Structure 1
Amino acid sequence: MLQCYNRGCGQTYDPNNNNDDSCCHHPGAPYFHDAYKGWSCCKKKSVDFTEFLNFKGCTRSKHSNVKPPEPEKSKDNVDVPPPAKEIRPPIKTEVMGRPDFNTPLTKINATVAPALKQAIDNLKAKTTGKDDGSSLKPGEIPVGTACKNRGCKYSYVDESSDYDECQYHPGVPIFHEGLKFWSCCQKKTTDFGTFMAQPGCAYGSHKWFKDDEEKVVQCRYDWHQTPSNVIVAIYAKMYHYELSSVQVNPIRLKVHLVFPEQDDSEFNLDLELRGIIKVDQTQVQMYGTKIEITMPKAEACSWAKLDFPRTKDVPKPKPDGKIVKNQQAADSSDSEFDLDDIENVSTGVRLTDIS
């Protein structure tokens, strides 16, 4: 008995009893693709390997004890050394020189959204015609001006009001764990009306004008980048599009926003940028809720951060000048003190003397 080597048959046969229809086999080759197993000669395929092996042949012929030839392997890469890798030198890019931080700034013309323009124009129309005190003489106080001292409820009537006594709170209001009180007198209460009605704890003169304090508005800003641009977004509402400005130079961004609803308070941002930008292609978009600044990169690189931190130059105080002076005064006072100068102090009559 001989072994049949036709694919898909696997039977033994008698050479003397080998007819043209004795062997049922697959004349094609097996293939495996996308988890499917099948034969190239018929359309039978399956994902199960056992089922694939049990597929009946699609062709009948005589049994054969000759093994089918194996597919020839490609001889292209046999005993052929791999090609030598060409090591190319690194590409040298020209590094741009960093300009000076104090390079003259260029003001960018902004594109204003219609919604923001209409809101600011309506605000200007409302303020037109109001008596804002501009017709008064310098130093003149409008009648009805409230005293600016905290806790004082007095209003200006005439010049005699300057001589009235002002009862006010020199401290600041504190709200902590439901309690409301002034830091100067510590009269605590949970009722807001009672807190506002508390009389002042100090006396002085009325103050008709606010102190000249710098009016600053805090605005949140963020940034992101693309392969070609750096975009900075400053989130602000009701800023004056004509009085606000954006100025840049190749490594600097300076933003100035004015808020007319908040007594012309200002927001200022001055940054030294990490990279170099193209000033002539910078764009500014002013929207109702933010201002967006698009700055094209002059170098094709990624920025790790938006800016370099800059520290303000603060004049250094004299090292321990006051402390040394006080220490010397204390030392001198101790050195000049003599224990013999202490006089006996009478403690009064003792109980033992009475008895």
Structure 2
Amino acid sequence: MSGELVQCYNRGCGQKYELDKNTDDSCRHHPGEPFFHDAYKGWSCCNKKCTDFTEFLNIKGCMVSKHCNVKPPEPEKLVENIPDVVAVTEVKPLQQPMTRPPYNTPMIKIEPEIASSVKRDFQSPTESNTDVHSAEIKIGTSCKNRGCTTIYEGPSSDSGTCTYHPGVPIFHEGLKYWSCCQRRTTDFNAFLNQVGCETGQHVWKKDEDKSKLVRCRWDFHQTGTHVFVSIYAKNYSPTKSVIKLNPVRLYTNLIFPEESDAVFNLDAELNGIIDVQKSQVNMLGTKVEIKMKKAEPRSWPKLEYPKTSDSKSQTNSPSVNDLTPKVEGVDLEDL
């Protein structure tokens, strides 16, 4: 029927079109699959990748063809047999528990072991930040709000209503959804075509202040003698970044010169007591690994010490949960 709009299901297109106006060059899309690896997001067909999810959604397709209104079959959800969690046997101390040092004990900067590949990437001690950004908005600029596909066509575009997602995208156990409205689906195209749940004004330029924080994924594990904290990050500066320790506190400050000196901070009061002098830091190409020597032979139930009135509540330091996304939410921060 002439004039009736149908949905195109080609990846990266997402437009609606009239059947009688569908030509060989109507649709620009990606024939490949989307991939999410570490902090990168991209398409397998054209090898374009980025760290920002909105920028990923705005990557133009690398193939031109007709629109397709045939919805691809939903992938079958795999039922995983999740093994039982192995119980951690707590090592009973052979001596009286140590007296816990104060949280505000002076911090010691740990000199890291830097991998040769990381050293090569940062041979120059100064990073250039001489990029000059024009104040003018270019025609064809995409709205920076997540989920909005509006393109800037001139000053008249400012008067339009922006429909977007104020939350963040989450990919977990085959499901894809936005944290703000949580309309869950297993189909990636259906996820991309979900209409935003909030309206407001279009944003044509990123807020530089908001881009100063980097969300990196991190985790911790332990042995009988050490606690390991791994922060998954790339393109950080090994010379500007700082790792500090005291017997009951870990402080990390990673600097990312390629992102206008954006930072990742992790400040945690440790669950147990460590020997700072026997702890070490390794800076690798894809992560920072902090190896802390336990001062007492016991198992830590968590990395962070339960808050008390005489520790973090007397400082301005936010908790670990305030600084870092959950592991199940892809950072896509953190993914």
Q: Same fold (TM over 0.5)?
A: no
Structure with higher RCO (Cα < 8 A, 6+ apart): 2
TM-score with structure 1 length normalisation? 0.43
